[in-house]
Structure 1
Amino acid sequence: MDIVLRASVMFALLYLLIRLMGKRELAQMTPFEIVVLVVMGDLIQQGVTHNDFSLTGAALAIGTFAFWGFCLSWAAHRWPALKDILEGRPRLLVADGRLLHENFRRDRLTEDEIYSEMRLAGIARLEDVAWAILEPQGKISFVKRTPDEDSSRQESGGPAR
């Protein structure tokens, strides 16, 4: 029972730490951040199982983590109001070809990361982006501007982006 209690506490602590780290995909993490996550895994194992290296102890710890993961997933599905708290909300990073710098800070994103993700999505210019959204899972979704939007801007006398 001691392992289940320690695993529950470590799950809660790990969940909070991951939420505080922000929405970053594994591909966007620095090598140091990846090493920190690996070391955290080892430290968590030591804190949860202590000196119990038995198969039963490992199964209890893994089962407890899976149980709490399932509970949070079920709660987010059952009560939509909790979903934003537990999983996060999408955040707008680019609107109408303009970077929204104030939205970068919380997730510690840089302009270079946005430009890199744009190139990976096959978009050459920021002006070609209608929307860029940081999804709760850490992926950046891009919506390209349509040719109709570009021609209507030029016809209305607005600057072509």
Structure 2
Amino acid sequence: MDLVLRMTVVFFLILLVTRVTGRRELGTMEPFDLIMLVIIGDLVQQGVTQSDYSITGTLIVLATLAVLTVATSYLSFRVRPLRGLLEGEPIVLIADGELIGANLRRERLTVDELRAEARQQQIADLGDVRFAVLETSGRISFLQDRAPLGA
């Protein structure tokens, strides 16, 4: 039972940390971020299992993780008010070609980073963007006013 309790606490701690760090940071992984994830995984494993290296302990922790993952997914699907808390909401970064500075600051996203994302989607000028939305996955969706050049 101790393993189930530990895994439950760690699960919700990880959920909280991912919500606090922001989806933009989670959407773009740098090598340092990958290394940090591996280290966090090792620390979490040690905190959850302590010195229990048994197959039974591993199965209990994995089963608890699976049940919690499915439960939060189900709750997010069935209980609409929880969806924003568990998954987040899309955030509009550009509306009718105008940057929404408050939302950029809230997500710690610079205009240069937004321009770089636009360039990766073949958009040269942010003024041509009708809407730019930071999705819950950390990706940015762009909707343009006009057809791109050469179309």
| TM-score above 0.5, yes or no | yes
Name the residue aligned to 2:108: 108
Separation of aligned partners in 2, 1:12 and 1:27: 20
Moved more, 34-43 or 124-133: 34-43
Instruction: Quickly say closer, same or farther: Cα 1:24–1:59, change in 2 above 3 A.
Output: farther
1:65–1:29 CA distance, 2 compared to 1 (3 A):
same
Shift of residue 49 of structure 1? 0.7
RMSD: 1.5
Instruction: Quote the residue 1:128 is aligned against.
Output: 128
For 1:144 and 1:48, locate their aligned partners in 2 and report how far apart those are by CA, in whole Å: 48
Which whole-Å CA distance do the structure 2 matches of 1:115 and 1:129 have between them?
11
- Give distance in 1, aligned partners of 2:81 and 2:96: 29
Aligned counterpart, 2:5: 5
Q: Which moved more, 1:96-105 or 1:2-11?
A: 96-105
Per the normalisation by structure 1, the TM-score is 0.85
Q: What's the offset of the Cα at 1:127? A: 1.3
- CA–CA separation in structure 2 for the residues paired with 1:129 and 1:141: 10
Give, in whole Å, the separation in 2 of the partners of 1:59 and 1:26. Answer: 28
Q: Which shifted more, 50-59 or 39-48?
A: 50-59
Instruction: Describe the SS at the equivalent of 1:104.
Output: helix
Residue of structure 2 equivalent to 1:51:
51
Higher Rg: 1
Partner of 1:84: 84
Percentage of identical aligned residues: 46
Unaligned runs of 5+ in 2: none
- CA distance in 1 between partners of 2:27 and 2:76 (Å): 26
Q: State the TM-score, normalizing by the size of structure 2.
A: 0.90
Corresponding residue of 1:93: 93
**How far, CA to CA, are the matches of 2:58 and 2:108 in structure 1?**
35
Tell me by how many angstroms 1:9 deviates.
0.6
CA contact (8 A) 1:22 1:106 kept: no
Structure 1 alignment gaps of length 5 or more? 148-161
CA drift of 1:35 comes to 2.4
